[in-house]
Structure 1
C-alpha cells in the first residue's frame, strides 16, 4: 500500500506489504490532521493536499479501523471536529451580493465549489462507513448511535448549504450534496427529510433539536448575516417540519424568523415572512398566544403593510389572513375592550387607504387580489357589525336633540348602505336576520331604511 504524504507529515509509516489495519490508530490520524489543518502556516494548496490524502486514507480503511478503537468516545468527537473544520473550509464567502442574484462570476465562489466537492467526497465516505458499521455485529448500534449524534448536525448543515442552486454551488456540488443527504437519511433509517427531522417513529424525537443546536450560534442578531447560507439552511429545515412536531420547537424557530423579516433587504423580509407563515399554520394557536407571541408577530407583519414592494406585500397579506383569527381569539384580548380597534379592521382600513392612492399597478393588483379574502371573513363578524349598525341607526332615528335633519338623514343613508354591503358580503344573511327586526320595529324612519335593505337586489351593488 502506498504511503500518503499526510502520513509523512504525521510522522507515521505503514510496514511494507501490510493491509489497512496497520494504519496508525484513527484517533492519532484524525487529531494530528486537525492540528495540521488548523495551523496558521497551512496554505490553501497545502490544505487541499491534506484533504485529498485524508480522503484516500478513509477510502482505503474499513469501518473497523475508523470506529472499532479502544476509546469509543474519542473517534465520534474527532469526527465531529473534522466535520466542522472541513465545513468551514468549504463555507461560502461571508459577504453576499445585494439582491442575492444568480449567477455570479466572482472567483471566490468557484473556489468554494472546488473545496465543497472535495469535502463532500470525504463526508460521503464517512457516512458510507457508518452504514457499513450498522451491519457488523462487533460494531452495530453501539458505535453508530454515538457517531451519528456527533456528526449528523454538521453534515446535515453542510449538505443543505450546497444542495440548492446558490451563488456558491455548481451542478456537481449540488449532486454530491444530495448524495450526502441521501446517505444521512439511510444511516438514520429515514425515508425523507421531514422524517429525518421529526423522527421515523412516534417514539422518536428526530434530529431537529440537534440541527437547531448546531445552527443556534449563527442565528443570533449579531451573527446571522455573516453567512449567506444560514438563512437558507434555516428556512429549508423549518419548511420540512409540520404540525404537530413543530410546536415543541417554537422557541427555537420564532426568533430567527422575526430577525429575517426585520432585515432591510427585501429578499430577507420575504423569506422571514414565509417562515412566520409556516409557523402560524403549523403551531397550535394556544402556543402562539402564550407570552404574547401572536401580538409580536402581528406587529412585525403590520409594519410591512407600509412597504411599496408588491412581492413582499403578497406574502404579508397571506400571512396576516391566517394570523388574524388567532390574534382576535387570543386570551389577552378578552374581555373585549370596545375602545380597541380589531386587528382585522385595522389591516383592512390600512389596505383600503393605501389601495385608494396607490399608482403602482403591481401593488394595486396585490391589494385587489387579496381584498376578497378580507371581505369573506366578514361573515364571522356579522352579529357584531349588525348589532352596532342597528343600535346607531335607532339612536339617530329617535334623536330629539338639535341635530340638523339633513345630518341625521345622511347618517341613516350611509348606515343603510353599510347594511346592504354587509348583506352582500354575507350572501344574504342580513336580509334573513332583519325580518324579525323589521316586524317588531316601531319607528317608521328606521322601518323605511330596513325596507330598502330588503328590496335592494345584490346585482345592483356588485355586478357578477
Structure 2
C-alpha cells in the first residue's frame, strides 16, 4: 500500500505530493475530530503511513517549517492521550477518570515508535544535520510523554508502561546517548547539552503555582527527570528546579510534601554548597524543612530528617574549624526538637523513624552531643522500655544510638552509669522472657551487652564491680551469660 492510498483512506489524498501538507491536514483532522473512534483511526493510519512512507518523502529537506509540522503533529498525538485536568484543590481525580488513558497511550506510542524507527533509518543512511536537528526538536516531547506513562500510576497499565519504556529507549538511541542520564545531562566534557533544559522549559507552564495541580502527572514527570541528573550538570538548572521543588513540598497533601522533599534532597546532594548558599537558598530551604518536623506523618519525617541533616552540613561550618568553645547552631536546634518529640511520641512507626535517624545525627554532630546528654538519656531509657515487636526496629536503633553516644561522649558517661546500666539490665531481662525469633533476640541481647561493656570502659571498670555483686539466682540464664561475658572482659588501660 503506497502513501497516496493511505492518505486517500484518511480522506486527505490531495496532500500526497508533500509530507508537510499531509502532516498539516492530519494535524487539523485530529484536532477537529471529536469522536474517539475516529481519532483512534487517524492514529492507526498515521502509524501505517509513517511505517510505509519512503524516507525521501518523509524527510525531503527538514527546514524550520517541516520541523514545526513534525513537532505540532507529535504534540497533537500526545494531547490525545493527555490526562483529564483536575479543577479541585486536591489535585487528584478518581481512578475511573483515567480508565481510557492506557489504551490511548499505547496508540500514541505506536505512532511515535513508527516515526522514531524512520528517523533512525534516515540517520543510518544519511546522517544529515537537518535530521539530527529534528531529533533534538522532537526528543523532549518523546521524553515527557514516555515518562508520563512509564510510572506505575492510575493512568497506566502494564502494556502502556512497556510501550512508554520502549519509546524512551528509542529516544535515547536516536540522540546517540548511552543512557537516560546521558540523554538528560548531556556530555559537558564534549560540549554536548542534555535535554533537561528543553524538557523543563516545556513543563514550566504546567508547573506554576496556579497550574501544577491540574495535571496529576506533571509533578511525577518533573521529579523523575530531576533525579536522573546529578552533579555537576544539575547546577546549571538550579534556578529552574529549586523553586518548583519548594512549591511541591509546600503543599498541604502529605504525598506532595514527600515528593517535593525528595526532589529537594536530590538538589542538596548534587549542587555545590556555594550555589545553595547563594541568594539564601539554603536558609530558605532550612526553614521549609524545619516546618515539616511538626508533622505526625512517619513517611514525611523519614524523608525530611536525612535531607535536613545533609543541608545542615552545608549551612554550618565543619566542627574541626569552628573553634572552641563551640557555639550552638542549627544542628543543636534540630536535635533538641527531635528529642522533644521523641520523648512525647507514642506511635510506633514514628518512634522507629526517629530512632533510626537519631543515630545519624549523633554521628554527624560528634562530641558536641554532650550538650544534649540529659534529654538523650531520658529518650534512650524510655525507648528501651517499649517494645515495637515483631521486628524491634526502634529498640535496635536506640541501642545503636547509645553505642555511638558512649563511644563519642565517653568522658561524660561515667556519671550516667547508674541509670543506663539499670535500664540495660532491665531490658535484658525483658528480652529474655519475650517470645521473639531467636536470631532477633540474640541480636538485641548482644547489642545491649556491648553497650554495658562500653559503659564499663567509660566507668574504668566500676560497672564490672557492681555486676559481680548481683544475685545470680534472680537472673534468667541468658542474662547471666551476658553479665559473665562483661565481667570476664579485660579492663581498659
**Take 2:461 and 2:77, find their aligned partners in 1: how far apart are those partners?**
68
- 1:83 and 2:74 aligned: yes
> What residue in structure 2 maps to residue 184 of structure 1?
171
> What residue in structure 2 maps to residue 12 of structure 1?
13
Aligned match for 1:29, one of 22, 25, 35: 22
**Take 1:74 and 1:248, find their aligned partners in 2: how far apart are those partners?**
31
Distance 1:266 1:64, change over 3 A: same
**Take 2:462 and 2:24, find their aligned partners in 1: how far apart are those partners?**
80
Quote the offset at 1:157 in angstroms.
0.2
> What residue in structure 1 maps to residue 262 of structure 2?
274
**Take 1:457 and 1:126, find their aligned partners in 2: how far apart are those partners?**
77
**Take 1:266 and 1:343, find their aligned partners in 2: how far apart are those partners?**
25
Matches within 5 A, 1:66-145: 66-69=58-61, 72-95=63-86, 106=96, 108-137=97-126, 140-145=127-132
Aligned match for 1:347, one of 334, 338, 344: 334
Distance 1:457 1:350, change over 3 A: farther
Q: Which has the higher helix share?
A: 2
- 1:53 and 2:41 aligned: no
Quote the offset at 1:196 in angstroms.
0.7
Structure 1, unpaired ranges of 5+:
15-22, 387-420, 432-453
The 8 Å contact of residues 258 and 276 in structure 1, kept in 2 or not, is answered as yes
Distance 1:217 1:457, change over 3 A: farther
**Take 1:44 and 1:300, find their aligned partners in 2: how far apart are those partners?**
45
Quote the offset at 1:378 in angstroms.
2.6
The 8 Å contact of residues 161 and 229 in structure 1, kept in 2 or not, is answered as yes
Quote the offset at 1:457 in angstroms.
4.7
**Take 2:130 and 2:404, find their aligned partners in 1: how far apart are those partners?**
67
The 8 Å contact of residues 10 and 42 in structure 2, kept in 1 or not, is answered as no
The 8 Å contact of residues 6 and 50 in structure 1, kept in 2 or not, is answered as no
Q: Deviations over 1:309-328 (max 9, x none)?
A: 00100110111111101012
The 8 Å contact of residues 50 and 114 in structure 2, kept in 1 or not, is answered as yes
Q: Deviations over 1:4-32 (max 9, x none)?
A: 57546654249xxxxxxxx3311101112
**Take 1:296 and 1:458, find their aligned partners in 2: how far apart are those partners?**
49
**Take 2:131 and 2:146, find their aligned partners in 1: how far apart are those partners?**
20
Matches within 5 A, 1:25-424: 25-39=18-32, 42-69=34-61, 72-95=63-86, 106=96, 108-137=97-126, 140-200=127-187, 202-203=189-190, 204-329=192-317, 342-379=329-366, 381=368, 424=406
Q: Deviations over 1:225-255 (max 9, x none)?
A: 1111111111111111111111111111111
The 8 Å contact of residues 183 and 194 in structure 2, kept in 1 or not, is answered as yes
Quote the offset at 1:184 in angstroms.
0.6
| SS of equivalent to 1:376 | helix
Quote the offset at 1:125 in angstroms.
1.0
The 8 Å contact of residues 66 and 75 in structure 1, kept in 2 or not, is answered as no
Structure 2, unpaired ranges of 5+:
373-402, 414-456, 464-482, 487-493
TM-score (norm. length: structure 1): 0.76
**Take 1:240 and 1:256, find their aligned partners in 2: how far apart are those partners?**
16
TM-score (norm. length: structure 2): 0.71
**Take 1:380 and 1:368, find their aligned partners in 2: how far apart are those partners?**
19
Quote the offset at 1:51 in angstroms.
1.7
Q: Which consecutive segments of 4 or more residues in structure 1 shift more than 6 A? A: 96-101
The 8 Å contact of residues 136 and 175 in structure 2, kept in 1 or not, is answered as no
The 8 Å contact of residues 120 and 177 in structure 1, kept in 2 or not, is answered as yes
Distance 1:361 1:155, change over 3 A: same
**Take 1:77 and 1:200, find their aligned partners in 2: how far apart are those partners?**
27
The 8 Å contact of residues 160 and 177 in structure 1, kept in 2 or not, is answered as yes
Q: Deviations over 1:83-116 (max 9, x none)?
A: 2111111012223997979xx761x423111111
**Take 1:176 and 1:25, find their aligned partners in 2: how far apart are those partners?**
30
- 1:426 and 2:408 aligned: yes
RMSD of aligned C-alpha atoms?
3.4
